[in-house]
Amino acid sequence: MLAREVRILSESIERLDGRGFLKVVSADQRTAGGERPSCLICDEIGYYGSWSLIAENSPGPEQLESLVLYLGFRGPKAYNRAGCPLHDLVARAAAGDPALYLLDRQEHPTASAEFLARMRRQLPASEFARVWENTWSDEGAFLPSEWIAAAVDPGLARGVERDPAARYFMGVDLGLRRDATAVAVVEIPPMGDMVRLVALCVWRGAGREAEVDLANVEETILELDAKFQPQCITYDPWQFGYAGQRLKGAGLPVNEYVLTQASKNQIASILYALFAERMIRIPPRDDLRTELEQLVLKETKVGGIYFDHLPGRHDDMVMAIGLAVSVLEPGAVEPVGFVSNESFLDGYW
């Protein structure tokens, strides 16, 4: 039926009679502006830092019948200030502005108490507050210190020999200059109910401009491959591309994993779930524990999460572990459905 009335394009829906269209514009699209629609829908309004884009595209005064619809949860507290659209709209509605109708709920009408309890346990506190309580949230530590402490296994300090019945995965995070390089190997035991960090090697240059010796890194990877025989060696090709090709030529099962915002979100989600569900074990290393504790939780404009390090700190060891587990398929560790979008519909993880 719609085919007789409209034409559906990649970023718009147009009426065939030429009397109107619905267009999708990214909020960070610098070329946006200049439209004078009769209807404007602003999604994720909690992440708008100013009114500029809305002002450029709002219905003009000549349009007598027009509608502007704002949608979204409350976002980080940084946006709860004058000049940010959601803050200003809530303030205007509270003051009785007759031009505004505000539907503001801080409870989910259909979510059960059991479901919300599970979400509170599995989501970062700031994400739960934003999505399920609709409150302004802080972006704090990526992992609570008690989760990190619960993951420490003193038995891993003695080293681990390869278990023929287990599966192994390796991750390589390379920083040639002004950064560290880390190689991690994780083990999934035969029962498939745990991820154990069985090897972690770190290289740091001696000075600010000193480079990591790539030959030493490759030699260690070859030694770890011979010892654990990992099913996959995952690396970011940005600085490790040529070395990765050499390892591939030597017969190693290498896997390129380009670090984009989406892939960082996936790594963060997997690591967060493993720590939240107490399904990862790490050796008692002070440097690793310090790196985990200083990670900062960040949120994207569409609700995704990722981690970053404090100024002057590093996240190389954590990223190497994340690259190692990035290839885990649903069911490799139970529960591991968090890598699938469909799992959200069944209760989220």
Q: What is the pTM of this model?
A: 0.61
> Which residue stretches of the chain have pLDDT < 70?
1, 26-35, 62-64, 78, 105-109, 138-139, 176-178, 205-210, 299-304, 310-312, 329-349
Kindly report, residue by residue over 171-226, the tens digit of the pLDDT: 999 876 567 889 999 999 887 778 999 999 998 765 555 577 888 888 999 999 99
Question: Where do the CATH 3.30.420.240 domains begin and end in the chain?
Answer: 145-345
Q: Would you say domain 145-345 falls under CATH 3.30.479.30?
A: no
Burial of 259 (0-12, 13-18, 19+ CB in 10 A): middle
DSSP for 26-95? -TT-TT------SEEEE-SGGG---SHHHHHHSPPTT-SS-EEEE-----BGGG-STTSHHHHHHHHHHT
Please tell me the distance from the alpha carbon of residue 210 to that of residue 208, in angstroms, as a whole number. Answer: 6
Provide the pLDDT for residue 192.
74
